[in-house]
Structure 1
């Protein structure tokens, strides 16, 4: 699934995710690393999860198998078809009007974040691309990333941001945190100063960009690394370190097999390298086995 094969559809879908994300940004209780704005990956797409506005509860889902946006309030449900030709302006206004009719009207900043696109949602008639096959393939990749990241990070006895869709950069990521405050060097950068203010390692997936032509996994430390790293024999085949990005990289070229074991190996090897670089101490506790019988998810991963 090369990016140039669905670039317009990907941009439109990301903008849809940003509409959902802006609602979380406005209404969810705040957390470090912007964890409160991350969208949930679901069986059929992605979702805001439960949101609260004044005395109302609501939720917005994007269903990429049935190709619709579902807006849910306490006393009603509204479905909006995802289809080629429908603009971001139309999606945004339909969501806004239905919520307003039911007493839900949070103030949101309608300008996209962390994108080169700057058209406010209510004016955007440029982005109107949708392809059902591409949407389903994108969901499959999100779910692969979610499962692999969960398999790695869930058992760790440490502070974490669990896997979800970061809509600003449209990646599925999770974060392992170390209890050390490290303020971002440029406080004028509103997003970065909140995202990067503790020692951490991020494990993620994105669909590609101008440098990477297709689906790619990455691991990034903060504070950012300023030297090169070697991919030892502990890394799976195909892994490499990109010094310009300060990230370990693993392209995903084959979707025909289960990647959970390979990706757990990649995440583990990257973690060990960056943990030593960041001089994290007393991390043995992270890896103490859980005091519970292994369930099917864990056993299946070990096959």
Structure 2
């Protein structure tokens, strides 16, 4: 648990507070006396929190794939609370399986949830944040937004995509006093792995490295190293620091793997100097 003292971050809107980082963040913020507008798909999933914090927890029903509902919930939240200091895009899930194994419905659903849903929450909040002249957008991504593995192509597509979106938006809204934070956690002991993960109908042709995620999803093979409570605390702390970098990697293994992948990518690009130059117009 962390001591939350930043007086500028009093009211938070968090999508998906029924589990995972959303739940951890909501619990810590509420315990610190903050106001949380939290979205869920099933109200009974947060009954205990509602009973414990009847005055500071505002629970709203929302499926982020319903764009009209996103508009309504976010706009209404600003109208009811006057201002919102932090917008947290947390709702999402993992989808595992080779690209060929996935159905059209699975592809469309994860993009609608993990990518388009986050985009629409941010777009709806921007006019309000711009008007109030402050606020922070916190996008829960993954180190899978920088590092890709087989058997996870559509999840990577959504995370690589949302990171590009937020990086661009961060530059657009900086003059208005709005900040952005892209959170890239590594493996954590949340429902993401051990409850909410979706798995395609697997084909024997991809047995091997592509299906190695099956070991990761089985708790019998060892739990993920990340502590969700500590990760949530670091996110909250970072939101209160004006010098927090755009990308926040959580987990030592995640940071190590991200650095190695970026170093490999830089080496690959640097090896292409001559061929890149060869396509310029001759002066």
- TM-score, normalisation: structure 1: 0.30
Greater share of strand residues, 1 or 2? 1
Greater share of helix residues, 1 or 2? 2
